[in-house]
Structure 1
Amino acid sequence: MILISPACRDALQRWLEGQRALAGAAENTLTAYHGDVVDFLAFMTVHKGQSQGLGALERITVADMRAWMARARSDKISSRSLARKLSAVKSFYRWLAAREGFEPTAVLSTRAPKFERKLPRPLSEDAAQAVIDTVQLQARHPWVAARDVAVVTLLWGCGLRISEALGLTAADVPLPATLRITGKGGKERIIPVLPVARDAVGTYLDLCPHPMRAADPLFRGVRGGRLSPRIIQSTMAEARMQLGLPATATPHALRHSFATHLLAAGGDLRAIQELLGHASLSTTQTYTAVDTARLMEIYDRTHPKA
C-alpha cells in the first residue's frame, strides 16, 4: 500500500464499500478485488516512476496495460488468474471513470488472456452413495458418524456449499420441505429438502450430545463448537482413499454431482441455476459440457474405432 497515493487508496476503499453495499459482494471476493487492484496500482507507480494519483490514472495507455500484463506473465501468473485481475481492474475503472468523468477506453479495451475453463468433476451416483456409506463407518462415535452422514447428504442431496451446510443453526430444524439459503454475495435461494436429507439430520439430532438452542450451530465439533469445514474435508479424503476415488472427490464435488445428476435426469438448466444460486447461467452451463463429455467417454468405450 505504501506505493499507492492517498487519493487512490481512498478511491479504492470507496469502490470496495460500494461493491459490498450495492453488489452484495462477499468478503472473500472483496479481499481478492483489493489485492488485484492494489497490485495494478503499485505496478503503475513503479512503471511510471512516480506516485499515481487519480489524474495520472486517467492517462493510463494501452502500452501501460500491456506492460502490466507482461509483468504478470513473467511472474508466472496463470491466464485464469490474470483474467480475474483484469476483470477487477476494469470494474474499478468503470466506477472511477464515471465518478471522475474521464474516458477509460485504454483499460476497458484490454483483452483478457484466453484460458481453458476447467470442467466440474462430479462423482457418479454410485460413487456418491458409496462415499456416504463409507463416511458412516469411519467415525469412532455414533453421533459423529451420523453428523458426517448428515452433512455429506446435504451437500449431495441439496447442492449446498460446505459453508452453507455448516452455517445452518438449530433454528433450522426440524428441516422443512424447503430451505431458504443465503449464499455468495447475500443471494437467497429456495432449496427443496429431500426426505433422505431430513432423515439424516434427524438421526444426527437424536444422537448429538450437545444442547441445541436456536442460535447454536446445527453441526458441532466433538467439543461442542461449530464444526470446521476441515473436518468434513478430511472425512471425505479418508473416504475417497478407501474407495480409490480421485483427489477431485471433495465436498464441493458433491455439489457438482447434485447439479450433474439433475441435468442427466432431465432437469431444466434455469431451475438448476436457481437451485445452485449461480448469478450467471453461463456458470451453470458448464454442467452441460460435463454431461456431454461423459456421454463421449461412454461412446468411446462401447463403440471402439475400427
Structure 2
Amino acid sequence: MISPACRNALEHWLAHLGGLRDAADNTLTAYRGDVVDFLAFMTQHFGSPQGLGALAEITTGDMRAWMAATRAGGTGARSLARKLSAVKSFYTWLAERQGFEATAVLSARSPKFQKKLPRPLAEDAAKAMIETVEYQSTSDWVAARDVAVVTVLYGCGLRISEALGLTGGDAPLPSVLRITGKGGKERIVPVLPAARAAVDRYLDLCPHPQETNAPLFRGVRGGPLNASIIRKAMAQARAQLGLPATATPHALRHSFATHLLEAGGDLRAIQELLGHASLSTTQAYTAVDTAHLMEVYNRAHPKA
C-alpha cells in the first residue's frame, strides 16, 4: 500500500510531465508503473506506508536493496535502468518542492547493459518487403493500402503511429510533410515520388470516402487502421522472404536512416528527419554502418 500523500505527489508529477513537458500517454503510463513499484517496495522494505517525509530519508543502501530485489524478480538491466530513470525524475521534481536533499536516490548508478543496435533491412530486402506485402490480401484496395503504408514507413522514415496518424487532409501527399512526433516535436520530412504514387493508388481504390479530418489509412470497415494489421502483413511477407523476426514496421524506419547514412547522408540531417531529440540516439546508426563495413571486410579478407 502506498500512502495517500505519496500517491497524490505522484499524480501531480505525472500531470506536470503531461502538461508542461507534453509527455506521451504511453510514457506516463510506464512512469506511473515504475514509480508505484518503487514506492510499493519501500513500503514493504520499511514495514509501513512511507509518507513524503520518509521518502526524504531513503539511503543509498535502501536504493541498492530495491535494485537488487528488482533484478532478482526477473527485471533485466535495460528495464531496471528505465525504472531508475523514472524514479530519479520523480525525486528531482519532489525534492525541489519539498526542499530536501535527494543525493542518495540521484547518485544511484544505472546498471550497465549492452545497447541494442538498430536492425535495419538490407536495401534489396526492404524493396522486396514492399513488393511482397501486396500479396498478403485478396482485396485490391487493402493490398494497395498496405503497400502505401509500408512505402511511407520506408520512404519517409516515419514511426508506424506517425504514418497512421496522417489524415485525409494530408492527401494527396505533398513534396514535404509536417510530422508531429514524440513529445510534440515537429519536423519536416521529404516525401519520395514512390510514396506519393503508392498513396495515390490506394486512394483510387479505397471504397471509403476521403475526409479531411478522418484517418488517411482506413480499416476494412472504414475506421482507423490498426497498427497490428500492418505488423501481421509484414510478418506474413517476411516469412515468405525468409527474413528474420526483426523485419518489422519499425525496422523500415531504421532502414531509411541506415541507407541514407550509407549513401553519404549527414548525421545531423538524419537526426532532423527522424525527429530524434538527441544526436546520440541517431549516432547508433553509425555503429550499424561500421558493423556492416566490417562484415563486408571480413567476408573479403577471411582469417586464415
TM-score bin (small chain): over 0.9
CA deviation map 1:135-165 (0-9, x unaligned): 1222211111111110000000000011111
* Shift, 1:280, TM fit: 1.2
Per-residue deviation at 1:305? Answer: 1.1
**What is the distance in 2 between the residues matched to 1:273 and 1:23?**
21
Distance in 2 (alpha carbons) for counterparts of 1:100 and 1:166: 42
Q: Write the distance in 1 (CA, Å) between the matches of 2:67 and 2:158.
A: 36
2:294 to 289, 293, 296: 296
2: distance between equivalents of 1:89 and 1:107?
8
Residue 252 of structure 2 corresponds to which residue in structure 1? Answer: 254
Partner secondary structure for residue 141 of structure 2: helix
Aligned equivalents of 2:51, 2:136: Cα separation in 1:
58
2-structure distance, mates of 1:88, 1:60: 16
Q: Give the distance between the partners of 2:147 and 2:283, measured in 1 at CA.
A: 29
Q: Matched residue of 2:187: which SS?
A: strand
Q: Show the counterpart of 2:212.
A: 214
Distance in 2 (alpha carbons) for counterparts of 1:62 and 1:135: 53
Task: Tell me which of 91, 94, 103 is aligned to 1:93.
Answer: 91
Q: Distance in 2 between matches of 1:155 and 1:238?
A: 17
Give, in angstroms, the shift of residue 240 of structure 1.
Answer: 0.3
Q: Structure 1 stretch 265-274 or stretch 76-85: which is displaced more?
A: 265-274
Distance in 2 between the 1:294 and 1:255 partners?
A: 17
Structure 2, gaps ≥5 residues long: none
Alpha-carbon displacement from aligned partner over 1:201-233 (angstroms, at most 9, x marks no partner):
011111111111111111111111111111100
User: 2:11 — aligned with what?
Assistant: 13
For 1:41 and 1:226, how far apart are their aligned partners in 2?
38
Map residues 12-31 of structure 1 onto 2, 5 A cutoff.
12-31=10-29
Question: How far did residue 188 of structure 1 move?
Answer: 1.1
Fraction of identical pairs, as percent: 74
Q: Give, in whole Å, the separation in 2 of the partners of 1:232 and 1:12.
A: 36
Q: Which residue of 1 is the match for residue 162 of structure 2?
A: 164
Residue equivalent to 2:178: 180
Output one character per residue of 1:148-192: Cα deviation in whole Å (capped at 9) or x when no partner: 110000000000011111111101111111111111111111111
Amino acid paired to 1:248: T
The equivalent position to 2:130 in structure 1, one of 129, 132, 135, is 132
Name the amino acid aligned to 1:226.
P
User: How far apart are the structure 2 equivalents of 1:233 and 1:296?
Assistant: 31
- Which residue identity is paired with 1:56? A
1:237 equivalent in structure 2: 235
What is the alpha-carbon distance in structure 1 between the residues aligned to residue 49 and residue 139 of structure 2? Answer: 60
Aligned to 2:40: 42
Q: For 1:232, what is the secondary structure of its paired residue? A: helix
**TM-score normalised by L of structure 1:** 0.98
Uncovered stretches (5+) of structure 1, i.e. residues with no partner: none
1:55 alignment partner in structure 2:
53
Structure 2 counterparts to residues 96-111 of structure 1, below 5 A: 96-111=94-109
Return the alpha-carbon distance in structure 2 between the equivalents of residues 21 and 93 of structure 1: 18
C-alpha separation between the residues in 2 aligned to 1:5 and 1:141?
A: 56
Spell out, residue by residue over 1:100-152, the C-alpha distance to the aligned partner (whole angstroms, 9 max, x if none): 11110000010000000011100011000001111122221111111111000
Q: Distance in 2 between matches of 1:18 and 1:190?
A: 28
**Alignment match, 1:81:** 79
In 1, Cα distance between equivalents of 2:90 and 2:289: 36
Does 2:224 align with 1:226?
A: yes
What SS does structure 1 have at the residue aligned with 2:283? Answer: helix
One-letter amino acid of the counterpart of residue 190, structure 2: P
Q: Distance in 1 between matches of 2:258 and 2:288?
A: 8
**TM-score where L is the length of structure 2:** 0.99
Residue number in structure 2 paired with 1:152: 150
